Amino acid sequence: MLCCAALFSLPACSDDDDGDGGSDINPPSEGLVSTDIPSLGWEGPAAPQNGIVTYRPQDAEDEGFYSAYYAFNFEGGVVKEAVFNIVCEEEAVARELQRRFSDGTWMEDDEEDEEYDPDYEDAAYAADASAKGYSLSAACLARLAAPVARVVKAQAAVAGRAADNSVMGLTCTQDGRIVYFKLDWFAGQNAEDVQYAMRTWDTGLNMDNLPDQPIFGEWNDATGVYTGTGIYGLPETQIQMTTAFDEAHLLTDYAAHFTLPNDGLAALVEEEVRSEASDYEQLGIQLEISRKGKVVSVSVLNVAQAKVSKEYIVKMIIAVDILMARPIYTDLF
C-alpha cells in the first residue's frame, strides 16, 4: 500500500481558500458520509435489509492525517448506494486532498515509492496450475488479462501525475473533513457479495473459494462472453473477454478487449502490452495486439495448444472480475 504522508507535507489550504470542494449535485443519503470512524472489518448486520453498514480494511493506515473506510446504504436487502470515505484530520487537509485528486497531482509526490504490487503473482498462478495438472503456459494464458490490468493500473497512476486530470476522469467530493468517492458499481449487490469483495480486496484472493459467477460484470455461458465496466474504478472503461470451446470443453479462442477513457491512455496501454509480448512468446504464447481508438485488444493465436479447460477459464474470469473492480485510489489509504 502506498504511503500518502508526502501528499500532506505541502502547506495546506488556508481557511479562506476558494473552491467548491467538487460539489455533488446528487449527494449521498444522510449518514453515508460520516466522520465517525468505524471498527476494522464489517460493522453492521451480517445480512442487512435496510440502513448503513461499513467496512474498514484490516490494514487500514492511520498516519494522523486521515482514516478511510467503505460505507454502503442497503435498501430491500441490496445496495442502493456506496461510497469510499476519507476522513481527514482537518478540513484544510480535505480541501487539499480533493484538489489534488481533481487536478491530477495526487500521485506526483509518490514517484519514488515502490511500484504497485500486481494483483496477480506469477508464482501463485503457476502453483495453482501445477496443482491442477496444467502447464505453465496454460497458467499464463489463463491470466492473460492480468498484465493488461496491471498496465491499466500503473499507467493510470502515471497519468494521474499529469496536470490535466481529464485522462483519468476521477471525481470526488469534499464535505467538511471528508473526501468521498461514489462507488456506483456496487448498486444492486447483496450483502454476501459485498462482504466477499471487501474481504478479497483486504486479505487477498482465495482461488479455492470463488463465487459461482462474477460479482460486478456478467458472464454469458451461452456465448462465452464476459463484460464488465469500471476498470479499477475508472469511469468510461470496460473489459470484455470473448471465448470459444470445443466439444471437450477445451478453449479454442480467447481475446480480451479493454476500453479506456480516451485514446491517450489506450495508446499507453497498447505500448506497455506490446513490451510484454516477448515474455509470453518465451512461454509459447503468441499474442496479437491491436488498438482502435480507445479500445485495446489482445488475442491469443495458438490458444488451442494450451488445452485449457472451460472450468479453469471461467474461474480466472471470476477472479479478474473481482480484482479489477477495486478502485485504484483505495491503494493509497
Look at residues 79, 59, 49 and name the one whose alpha carbon lies nearest to residue 193.
79
**E strands in the chain:** 41-43, 51-56, 66-75, 78-88, 173-175, 178-182, 218-220, 225-229, 238-245, 251-259, 287-292, 295-300
pLDDT value for 264:
83
In this prediction, residue 280 carries a pLDDT of 76
Query: What backbone torsions phi and psi does residue 245 show, to the nearest 5 degrees?
Result: -135, 155
pLDDT score, position 17 = 45
d(CA 180, CA 172): 6
Q: Give mean pLDDT in consecutive 10-residue pieces for the chain, a chain of 333 residues.
A: 36 41 75 95 94 91 78 98 95 89 60 41 41 42 50 51 52 94 95 96 88 96 94 87 95 92 85 82 83 93 86 90 88 73
Q: Flag whether the pTM goes above 0.75.
A: yes
Max Cα separation, the chain? 69
Ordered by start, the domain boundaries in the chain are 5-326
The C-alpha cell that represents 235 in the structure block: 469511469
What was the pLDDT predicted at 106? 56
User: Are the CB atoms for 107 and 157 separated by under 8 Å?
Assistant: yes
The SS3 assignment for 181 reads strand
